[in-house]
Amino acid sequence: MAERKLFKGNEAVAEAAIRAGCRYFFGYPITPQNEIPEYMSRRLPEVGGVFVQAESEIAAINMVYGAAGAGARVMTSSSSPGISLKQEGISYLAGAGLPCLIVNMVRGGPGLGGIQPAQSDYFQAVKGGGHGDYHLVVYVPASVQEMVDLTMEAFDVAEIYRMPAMILGDGILGQMMEPVEFHEPRKREVPAKDWATTGAAGRAPRVINSLYLNPEQLYRHNLALADRFEQVKANEVRCEAVNVDDADIVLAAYGTTARICRSVMDRARASGLRVGLMRPITVSPFPYDAIGKAARTAKAFLTVEMSMGQMVEDVRLAVLGKAPVHFYGTTGGVVPTAAAILARVEEIAGAEVSRP
């Protein structure tokens, strides 16, 4: 049996990263994720790793670029305003096909915003964020245990497909404490880094680069990036479906909001309403097929987010007009209450479900 320990979300991510073989961390402080760099600064030297507090998020992500290019398992973490600064480097990492892990413990925005949990960086995380044609693999854990499991998985997936991966959490997940088990990471075939710039001893020189001045070449490069993401779509999409088969109303939510929706579902079921939950575990690639399948039987969807409506656009794309997709959102760092969501479910049930 693996050991079970009480861990704070942020520290769980850090410990999981170390257990997954990450030995390099470059970061810059911002609330509410400071426990990650703090934990790394303590723990990495114990395992022969390196922690550098960079002069800015821009520098931190570029240190990640250098280290990833030299073949290391490397990560950085930040929260919303800091992730905005990292976008330049994220685009370069994606362009150069460099694997790494980026953790975003989202806080309310825009601008300096606040320090309370939010989900308002969804667009930025899944639709690009930086410039150019690229995608990240984005995991959205809903528990401290999942923070551990998905952090470990994210490193492998980033290396298999040569692209940056992101853990998209929020202030609540980062701060909450739950018992976790650190399993041996799932063994996956990770290819050798036969592209890393480590010194050209006994081989031809290598270049880490995202510059293609010839448009045809850039076109081919972008097609190759898109092709790799197609493979991610085919193999790595993850979504949890709870009580969806017989559901009239399907809630769609991720992360913290999905936890609240789970209790909304239980309370609704107790009062006789057939409510289910679709919980994406990856939001990039998005589980369009799984949600589309649920739309064959469900009478209505309700997407719940801590934003003014971002993931709801993907839910609508998945449902493709087969059922109405409603939205309930809170913003600015306000966490939705189960009671308010339940009231919305009952309203929808009255309007949509009672129809013949």
Residues 220-279 that bind other proteins (CB under 8 A): none
332: left (phi over 0), alpha (psi -120 to 50) or beta: left
Does 202 participate in binding other proteins (rule CB under 8 A)? yes
76/120 with CB nearer other proteins: 76
Three-class HEC string of 314-344: HHHHHHCCCCCEEEEECCCCCCCCHHHHHHH
Query: Least distance (Å) from other proteins to the CB of residue 62?
Result: 4
Does 324 participate in binding other proteins (rule CB under 8 A)? no
Tokens of 299: 């009478």
Task: Determine whether 199 is exposed, middle or buried from the number of CB atoms within 10 Å of its CB (0-12, 13-18, 19+).
Answer: exposed
Residues 94-113 that bind other proteins (CB under 8 A): 96
d(CA 152, CA 131): 27
**Is the torsion defined by CA of 145, 127, 252, 231 positive or negative?**
negative
Does 50 participate in binding other proteins (rule CB under 8 A)? yes
Q: What is the DSSP letter of 58?
A: H
Query: Least distance (Å) from other proteins to the CB of residue 52?
Result: 7
Q: Which stretch binds other proteins (CB under 8 A): 3-11, 30-38, 205-213, 303-311?
A: 205-213
Does 207 participate in binding other proteins (rule CB under 8 A)? yes
Does 218 participate in binding other proteins (rule CB under 8 A)? no
d(CA 195, CA 236): 23
Per residue in 159-188, is it b (16+ CB within 10 Å) or e — as a string?
bbbbbbbbbbbbbbbbbbebebebeebeee
Q: Residue 229: in which H helix or E strand, if any?
A: helix 215-236
Residues 158-197 that bind other proteins (CB under 8 A): 197
Query: Least distance (Å) from other proteins to the CB of residue 174?
Result: 25
Task: Give the C-alpha distances (Å, rounded to integers) separating 322 from 295, 300, 305, 319, 352.
Answer: 6, 9, 21, 6, 13
Does 65 participate in binding other proteins (rule CB under 8 A)? yes
58/335 with CB nearer other proteins: 58
Give the residue, chosen from 3, 46, 111, 205, that forms a contact with other proteins under the rule CB under 8 A: 205
Does 88 participate in binding other proteins (rule CB under 8 A)? yes
Does 40 participate in binding other proteins (rule CB under 8 A)? no
Orientation angle between helical segments 144-161 and 9-19, nearest 10 degrees: 40
Does 66 participate in binding other proteins (rule CB under 8 A)? yes
3-class SS at 272? coil
Does 338 participate in binding other proteins (rule CB under 8 A)? no
| Total residues binding other proteins (CB under 8 A) | 39
CB 157 within 8 A of CB 165: yes
Does 85 participate in binding other proteins (rule CB under 8 A)? no
Give the residue, chosen from 17, 68, 273, 312, that forms a contact with other proteins under the rule CB under 8 A: 68
Does 288 participate in binding other proteins (rule CB under 8 A)? no
Give the residue, chosen from 211, 226, 339, 343, that forms a contact with other proteins under the rule CB under 8 A: 211
Tokens of 169: 């959490």
The contact set with other proteins (CB under 8 A) reads: 24, 26, 50, 52, 54-56, 58-60, 62-72, 74, 88-89, 92, 96, 197-202, 205-211
